[in-house]
Amino acid sequence: MRLSTRNQLTGTITQVDLGSVMAIVKVRLDGGDQIITASVTKDAAVELGLTVGQPATVFIKSTEVTVGVD
């Protein structure tokens, strides 16, 4: 598969929380302790068969990323 998304980070799924509509998926990135959290539809998580311990690639394509703290 070829993608235009340039930010591709590999890691291992550490958590999958299925809600009624959405799922929260946490991926620990290779080579460190950084964790990426993604919100995906429950249907997508089930169709992909996402499970803890499974290798995964996180694709990040965004025109804006915002973080705020006090």
Domains of the chain by start residue, with CATH: 7-60 (2.40.50.100)
Q: β-strands 22-29, 35-41: how paired?
A: antiparallel
pLDDT by residue for the chain (70 residues), tens digit each?
788 888 899 999 999 999 999 999 999 999 999 999 999 999 999 999 999 999 999 998 877 777 788 8
68 vs 46, 50, 65, CA distance in Å? Answer: 32, 30, 10
CA-based nearest residue to 16, from 27, 5, 6, 8: 27
In this prediction the pTM is 0.86
